[in-house]
Amino acid sequence: MASLQATSTRRTKERQARGKRWAKLKNQRELWIITVVMLIWVAIFAYYPMFGVIIAFKKYYPGQSFLASPWVGFKYFQQFFASNDFLKIMRNTLAISGLNLLFGFPAPIILALLINEVTRKPWKRFVQTVSYIPHFLSWVVVASLAYTFLGNEGLLNQVLINMHVIGQPINYLGEGKYFWGIITVADIWKEIGWGSIIYLSAISGIDDELYQAGAVDGLGRFGMVWHITLPGIMNTIVLLWILGIGDILNAGFEQQLLLGNELTRDFYEVIDTYAYRYGLQLGNYSYGTAVDLMKGIISVSLVFFTNWFTRKKLDLAIL
């Protein structure tokens, strides 16, 4: 009898819970209708193809079936780690993405803070718009601009020679020691404006009363930025930092192929260009997939680790 009563109570509670969930769903139906389309898209184009990573563990060649190809285990991962170029590729990848994180990550934050300090609205809009434009240029155009600016007869060499700073032109694009700097600067120039949008949007969400209170407390402009603006957008910074750390092995692809050349190969070859040339171009899809899968696993691990770290230290996390 008691058990019957308990079962009945449990069932009533379940029915009530289902009812609440259904009511919630009904209430949010427009949002769900919008989301379902995207969820289906993500399932088809992002999750379903992930089945293809199986070829990283198989000897697959185009034309064969994924399932019928023979298993080779970790052969291609070992092949990559054992390759003569492995250390050089990892060095280049970490160096380029490290520089991007070190300089490229704070750059849009600084730009957003500076734009926020501009008081004249038309000028502010103009600066914002101009800063976005490089984002829309393709890397082919950027490479061409780089050649015009940095080539032996480029603008920079001409200016330096005319100012008697140097006697002979410097082959910036042909010397490996400049490559990392050039690609970092090009990347920052291209993305700084676009990257600042999210920070500007976060800054606009800070309560004006905080600034008023700060003024009353005697804070100057720099003080307002340091004590109010930055803490106000800290969540956004940490969120993007966590995602940025996950991209540490994504040092780029197009920009390396376009800005790099035979003289700078030792400095431009990164994981993605290596996977392209030795995987895709040679039709060795298994090898290319193994290299990229390794990259993906490390990236995801870094995201989780950074998320855990920021949760522990800053009480901020995205997961």
67 near another protein, rule: CB under 8 A: no
Q: What residues contact 250, with CB distance under 8 A and at least 6 apart?
A: 97, 272, 295, 299
Residue 41 binds another protein, judged by CB under 8 A:
yes
The yes or no reply on residue 86 touching another protein (CB under 8 A) is: no
SS3 at position 314 = helix
39: tokens are 């969820």
Decide: 271 and 249 in contact? Cβ < 8 Å. yes
Q: Does 209 help bind another protein (rule: CB under 8 A)?
A: no
- 61, 123, 308, 309: residue in contact with another protein (rule CB under 8 A): 61
Distance, in Å, from the CA atom of 124 to the CA atom of 114, rounded to the nearest integer, reads: 10
Binding segment for another protein among 61-69, 126-134, 188-196, 291-299 (CB under 8 A)?
A: 61-69
Check binding of 208 to another protein (CB under 8 A).
no
Give residue for tokens 């298994």: 286
**Considering only residues 218-257, where is the footprint of another protein by CB under 8 A?**
257
Instruction: Determine the 3-state secondary structure of 58 from DSSP.
Output: strand
Please answer whether residues 180 and 100 qualify as being in contact, where contact means their C-beta atoms are separated by less than 8 angstroms: no
User: With binding defined as CB under 8 A, does residue 167 bind another protein?
Assistant: no
Whole-angstrom distance, CA of residue 224 vs CA of residue 219: 6
Measured from the Cβ of residue 268, the count of other Cβ atoms closer than 10 Å reads: 24
Is the C-alpha dihedral spanning 224, 225, 230, 233 positive or negative?
positive
For residue 159, which amino acid is it? V
CB of 46 to another protein, least distance (A): 13
46 belongs to the binding site for another protein (CB under 8 A): no
Among 11, 20, 125, 277, binds another protein (CB under 8 A): 277
Cα distances (Å, whole numbers) of residue 108 to 18, 61, 103, 116, 180: 46, 43, 10, 12, 19
- Cβ nearer to another protein, comparing 133 with 140: 140
Task: Find the binder of another protein among 191, 247, 254, 266 (CB under 8 A).
Answer: 266
State in angstroms the smallest separation of the CB of 171 from another protein: 6
Q: Tell whether residue 37 is a contact of another protein (CB under 8 A).
A: yes
Looking at the Cβ atoms of 133 and 282, the one nearer to another protein is 282
Q: Which of 49, 121, 204, 262 binds another protein (CB under 8 A)?
A: 262
Distance CA 69, CA 135 (A): 42
Q: Which residue has the tokens 């199986």?
A: 54
Interaction of residue 300 with another protein, rule CB under 8 A? no
- Asked if 191 is part of the footprint of another protein (rule: CB under 8 A), the reply reads no
- Mark 117-156 with x for binding to another protein (rule: CB under 8 A) and - for no binding: ------------------------------x---xxx---
Tokens of 74: 């970790």
Q: What residues line the site for another protein (CB under 8 A)?
A: 30-31, 33-34, 37-38, 41, 59, 61-64, 84-85, 147, 151-153, 169, 171, 173-174, 257, 261-263, 265-266, 277-278, 280-285
